[in-house]
Structure 1
Amino acid sequence: MALTESNEFEIGAFAPDFTLINTIDNTTIQLSHNKGENGTAIFFICNHCPFVIHVNEELVRIANDYKTKGINCIAISSNDVVNYPQDGPVLMKENAEKLQYPFPYLYDETQEVAKAYNAACTPDLYLFDAELKCVYHGQLDNSRPGNNIPVSGEDFRNAIDVLLQDNTILENQKPSIGCNIKWK
């Protein structure tokens, strides 16, 4: 596994719109029609990455905790499924159902969405306000596989709470760290 930090994504930049297939129910999801009333979280994840496996349950908790507060969550997998078949749409659906994802799990077959977001790793986490302007792009928390720090979602939860309270921008945003996206 190649340890990779998230790339720069300008705070204040608008979320690039996309239309992708939700592997859970085979529906088409367009970001502009599925944004949250108060904000939208986008998670670039995959099935096999140990960093994603480490935080999956917390991503589910975050989505469930903030759904009633007008925050929609969307997960996207952009990995090359030819060389990483465990990240293919059929197994994405199985994984989402097993983990009870309360958010769509979209397949970015062309990898164009990941490129538009300058995504680099899994997990790569973004938070956008009600107008889809980026307010946070960074880590979930300080926990990593093997470092014995419990997964809390502290950094990402704090970003959502600040957005919901007064829509200010957090100054210190630590990049996410994980496996590199598996490019074609």
Structure 2
Amino acid sequence: MLPLQHPLPQFSLPLVSGDAPWSSLDDVMSSGDLPGRPLLVMLLCAHCPFVKHVEPEISRLEADFGDQMTLLAISSNSLITHPQDGRDGLRQQADQQGWRFPYLLDEQQTLAKALRGACTPEFYAFAPDVDGTQTLRYRGQLDTSRPGNHQPLDGADLRAALKNILAGIPVSETQLPSVGCNIKWNPGQEPPWFGQST
């Protein structure tokens, strides 16, 4: 897992979907385009059943927190092995869910590797330090709900972290890793941590 207080990795990636002002970024979004407020980065994709399971709560997170922080979705799955996670699939997913936040395609998987991503979904909450540097405050699961386990889909873990960030309160360092579908790495380009337990 990425260490807490790690700075937000720099990126410049194709923009698949997103409402204004993101829709005016000439189809590419960079870390430098982000406003200086807290940021929630979500590693998602279109096909994974774990992602589909949490889509309603992601929509609720946007409704509840979207005015106070920036939400950003990234899909890093290999388009060689999973073409259904390409532009059309992601755009259809965002349209069906009514998501307005930017959704980026990390086709070379550089951002997923910089985040030490392992699965979809996975959540990273950053907040600006006094010098404006976005640093990691939370990385891990949304909540304890999984497909078929009948636990409430309420975003409890992530919501608690986001509320603390917005209130200026330190986030507990007891953070459980997310559970989901492995990121589908491009063949032969798997990171060193692929297949390791977290």
What TM-score, normalized by structure 1, do the two folds share?
A: 0.91
CA distance in 2, matches of 1:93, 1:175: 27
Residue 161 in structure 1 maps to residue 163 in structure 2: yes
Using a 3 Å threshold, how does the CA distance of structure 1 residues 86 and 95 change in structure 2: closer, same or farther?
same
Identity of aligned residues (%): 38
CA distance in 1, matches of 2:36, 2:92: 25
Between 1 and 2, higher relative CO (CA 8 Å, sep ≥ 6) is seen in 1
CA distance in 1, matches of 2:4, 2:32: 19
CA RMSD of aligned residues (A): 1.3
| Structure 1: runs of 5+ lacking an equivalent | 1-7
CA distance in 2, matches of 1:66, 1:129: 14
TM alignment of 1:1-184, pairs within 5 A:
8-24=1-17, 27-35=27-35, 37=37, 39-69=38-68, 71-130=69-128, 131-184=133-186
CA distance in 1, matches of 2:117, 2:169: 24
Runs (4 or more) in structure 1 with deviation over 3 Å come to: none
Check conservation: 1:64, 1:102, Cα contact below 8 A.
Answer: no
CA distance in 1, matches of 2:175, 2:156: 12
Letter of the 2:86 counterpart? G
Say which SS state the counterpart of residue 98 (structure 1) adopts: helix
| Structure 2: runs of 5+ lacking an equivalent | 18-22, 187-198
CA distance in 1, matches of 2:93, 2:34: 22
Using a 3 Å threshold, how does the CA distance of structure 1 residues 49 and 36 change in structure 2: closer, same or farther?
farther
CA distance in 2, matches of 1:52, 1:76: 12
CA distance in 2, matches of 1:83, 1:128: 31
Check conservation: 1:60, 1:102, Cα contact below 8 A.
Answer: no
Letter of the 1:46 counterpart? C
Offset at residue 36 of structure 1 (A):
5.1
Offset at residue 164 of structure 1 (A):
1.1
Deviations 1:61-91 (A, max 9, x none): 112211222x100000000112111101111
Structure label with greater radius of gyration: 2
